[in-house]
Structure 1
Amino acid sequence: MTRLIAPLLFGLSGAAILIGLGTWQLQRLDWKRGVLEQIETTIAGSAKPLPRLVSPEDQKYQPVSLSGTVGEGALYVLVSAKRIGAGWRVISPFTTEDGRTVLLDRGFTPVDLKQAPARAETLTIEGNLHWPDDRNSSTPANDTEANTWFARDIGPMAEALGTEPLLVVTRSMTPPDPGLTLMPVDTAGIPNDHLQYAITWFSLAGVWLLMTGAFVWRRSKED
């Protein structure tokens, strides 16, 4: 029996560590659900005017309401939409009635329709401020000469279109933008994989215990 104590302790210790990791992931799951719920509440909140003092950390997802016109020029960000396929997010300058010009994410157009004319009539926009994190280490550099962007890089886009470095993602537009499908801000793109991670760790703990039991049983038969 003495020979079985060490492998048994080793097996139980390993299983305890794996169960602890699974439990931690469940705690992270509760935390992430709270974060997502808070973001969804912010997105659906009451609209406010454009802020004069910009604070990305405090104002991300803030609902805004503005009226004005879509100006000349548009930038095209290559994206893929579910059940639609490849296409472009259209980013245009938007000049408000009080003279401010910001970036407006007007929505999605199919990849073969790379056009989005200016709108001279007064539009009412309901949307959300956003500082997207589209870019990562594998994102290609923007091809500005071909007007093909791979991320909504607010600084360079604002410089290209002569706007404030402030992006509004359209949730509703009155009257609507012909040929464009709105892609409003939501939490669908924010990963929440903690449940899968927890299941993985608990499964590994179960396998570890089974292997430990099999090993201990085989050693006991050898005695």
Structure 2
Amino acid sequence: MSRRMIFPLLLGLVGATVLVSLGVWQMQRLDWKLGVIAAIEARIDEAPVAIPDSPTEADDEYLAVRAEGRIGGPELHVLASTRAAGAGFRIIQALDTDDGRRILLDRGFVPEVQKDLSRDTGARIEVTGTLLWPDDRSDATPAPDLGRNIWFSRDIDAMSAALDTEPVLLVVTQSSAAPPPFPQPVTVNIRNDHLQYAITWFGLAAVWIGMTGYLLWRIKRRTD
């Protein structure tokens, strides 16, 4: 082997090793993320329990719970959409539970034309669902249009202040009340791009190896 080939070869080996290592790391992250998602989905599907006395996002998010009580008005309308119905709103109300608590209740979705229909405020209700701390609010999210009662995210702190409830949101998946609103399934919205990243790193490693091989071939031709 020519001495002129040693440095390009070493550079090629180091670069390929780094790129392959990054791809392997992303595959490990993928396995971890899939495990997290599977654990959350399993928790959502567990038998519902009573709402904890002091639920927290760290300990109780996605916990399947049950509650009974009376629906307290007024409603808050959160802009939303579904594939089947298009644009509409999530209906958020207070639930005065039988054990003396007052929490936020995401009762489900209504199409836009049903936004202002009269509903069963004050009625007794039994629900099962999931405790959730939504992350659908960002710095770009507009402030709620209080005049038209249109909210653009489920801001638990602001909504609990508006309805005088605990900062606890129960997303209804089953209800004793007839729809509408239509309860919506809780989905796990955790970003998982690790497979794409792994493919990118492995692809770059293949290109790096190919370029190194081509460079070594050029050097060898010149020295023969």
After TM superposition, the score normalised by the length of structure 2 is 0.90
Deviation at 1:201, TM superposition (A): 0.9
2:19 corresponds to which residue? Answer: 18
Structure 1: runs of 5 or more not aligned: none
User: How far does the alpha carbon of each residue in 1:113-156 deviate from its partner, in whole angstroms, 9 at most, with x for none?
Assistant: 32362344321100111111112233233333332222211111
2:135 corresponds to which residue? Answer: 133
Q: Is the 8 A contact 2:73 2:122 kept in 1?
A: no
2:68 corresponds to which residue? Answer: 67
1:208 corresponds to which residue? Answer: 208
Moved more, 110-119 or 67-76: 110-119
Inter-partner Cα distance in structure 2 for 1:11 and 1:113:
64
Deviation at 1:97, TM superposition (A): 2.3
Following superposition, which runs of at least 4 residues in structure 1 exceed 6 angstroms of deviation? none
Give the partner amino acid of 2:204: L
Distance change >3 Å, CA 18–CA 85, structure 1 → 2: farther
Give the partner amino acid of 2:168: L
Distance change >3 Å, CA 222–CA 86, structure 1 → 2: farther
Q: Is the 8 A contact 2:88 2:109 kept in 1?
A: yes
Inter-partner Cα distance in structure 2 for 1:111 and 1:214:
62
Give the partner amino acid of 1:72: G
Inter-partner Cα distance in structure 2 for 1:8 and 1:143:
63
1:153 to 155, 175, 178: 155
1:35 corresponds to which residue? Answer: 36
Q: Is the 8 A contact 2:128 2:175 kept in 1?
A: yes
Secondary structure in 2 aligned to 1:73?
strand
User: How far does the alpha carbon of each residue in 1:32-74 deviate from its partner, in whole angstroms, 9 at most, with x for none?
Assistant: 1111111112111121112222322111111111112222211
Inter-partner Cα distance in structure 2 for 1:40 and 1:14:
39
Inter-partner Cα distance in structure 1 for 2:84 and 2:13:
47
Moved more, 51-60 or 74-83: 74-83
Give the partner amino acid of 1:8: L
Moved more, 169-178 or 116-125: 116-125
After TM superposition, the score normalised by the length of structure 1 is 0.91
Structure 2: runs of 5 or more not aligned: none
Secondary structure in 2 aligned to 1:170?
strand
Correspondences of 1:97-112 after superposition (within 5 Å): 97-112=98-113
1:186 aligns with 2:193: no
Inter-partner Cα distance in structure 1 for 2:85 and 2:213:
51
Q: How many residues align?
A: 221
User: How far does the alpha carbon of each residue in 1:4-59 deviate from its partner, in whole angstroms, 9 at most, with x for none?
Assistant: 11112112211111100010011111111111111112111121112222322111
Inter-partner Cα distance in structure 2 for 1:176 and 1:199:
48
Inter-partner Cα distance in structure 2 for 1:81 and 1:211:
48
User: How far does the alpha carbon of each residue in 1:94-116 deviate from its partner, in whole angstroms, 9 at most, with x for none?
Assistant: 12223322110111122343236
Identity of aligned residues (%): 46
